[in-house]
Amino acid sequence: MRSLLGMKGGRYDKEESFMYTASDLRKGLKVIIDNEPYIVTAFEFSKPGKGQALYRTKLRNMITGLTIDRTFREGGTFEPASLEERAMQFLYKEGDQYHFMDNESYEQIVINEESLGDAKNFLIENLNVEVLLFRDRAIGVELPNFVNLRVIKTEPWARGDTSKADFKPATLETGYVLRVPPFIEEGELITVDTRTGEFSKRVKE
């Protein structure tokens, strides 16, 4: 489905705050449902003959990461989920608590491991990230697309072994395990694509 460009969108409710209506629903829209922020990940318009318009969606909870199916009727309204992004630095991890510092105010905040999702695999000390805040509550982080991480454990490459020539497992300093080319050795620094979680290249030091 292409985006619904050119269609009138949204309206103002009695308290004069901007609301989306069901016909504004589209992929990527962020809305509040049951007081939590959701992002629309799939969308389909249906209308049984002579019946009402139904908007079938898949929504991902931006706090828990869980996906739900919801069908909305015409006329339903939604509060937009406005998320604030703030530049912060990752300081350290304590149990399942991750500590960050605001680059401008030096204020420190804590995000738990569950809210970080896959981002926890790539957080190393002093990494600059964008922390997402929903109603002043930190709910996740946006990482740079590429992060350099050190390999702390991987099997040495047995020369001449062509049986599993393409890839071998490696453990990174964050505990994340991924597949790397056989020539990568323990102690080396590699670049990882945080969007896919895959090996990108070896870093020359």
Partner 1 sequence: MAGNWSLAKRKKTLQQRARIVQEIRRFFIETGYLEVETPHRIPSPAPESHIDAIPSDMWFLQTSPELCMKRMVAAGYEKIFQICRCWREKERGSLHLPEFSLLEWYRAGGDYHSLMEECERLIRFATRAIGLSEKIVFRSHEIDLSRPWERISVNEAFRRYSKTSMTRALEQNLFDEAMVQEIEPNLGVDRPMFLYDYPAQRGALARLKPEDPAVAERFELYIGGLELANGFSELIDPAEQRERFRIENKNRQSFDKTVYSMPEKFLAELHNMPPSSGIALGVDRLVMIFLDVETIDDVVAFTPEEL
Token duo for residue 56: 């079938």
Q: Whose Cβ is closer to partner 1: residue 28's or residue 48's?
A: 48
Q: Whose Cβ is closer to partner 1: residue 67's or residue 97's?
A: 67
What is the spatial distance between Cα 2 and Cα 193, in angstroms, rounded to a whole number?
28
What is the spatial distance between Cα 77 and Cα 31, in angstroms, rounded to a whole number?
10
Does 5 participate in binding partner 1 (rule CB under 8 A)? yes
Does 6 participate in binding partner 1 (rule CB under 8 A)? yes
DSSP H or E segment with residue 90: strand 84-94
Nearest approach, Cβ of residue 72 and partner 1 (Å): 10
Q: Give residues 56-85 in contact with partner 1 (rule: CB under 8 A).
A: 56, 71, 74-75
Q: Whose Cβ is closer to partner 1: residue 7's or residue 66's?
A: 7
Q: Which of 15, 28, 48, 160 binds partner 1 (CB under 8 A)?
A: 48
CA neighbor of 128 nearest in space, from 174, 86, 84, 89: 89
Does 194 participate in binding partner 1 (rule CB under 8 A)? no
Q: Whose Cβ is closer to partner 1: residue 47's or residue 164's?
A: 47
Residue 119: what residue type? A
Does 3 participate in binding partner 1 (rule CB under 8 A)? yes
Nearest approach, Cβ of residue 43 and partner 1 (Å): 8
- Count of CB atoms situated within 10 Å of the CB of 184: 19
What is the spatial distance between Cα 123 and Cα 110, in angstroms, rounded to a whole number?
14
Contacts of 41 (CB under 8 A, 6+ apart): 27, 58, 59, 60, 67
Write out the residues near partner 1 by the rule CB under 8 A: 1-7, 23, 44-54, 56, 71, 74-75
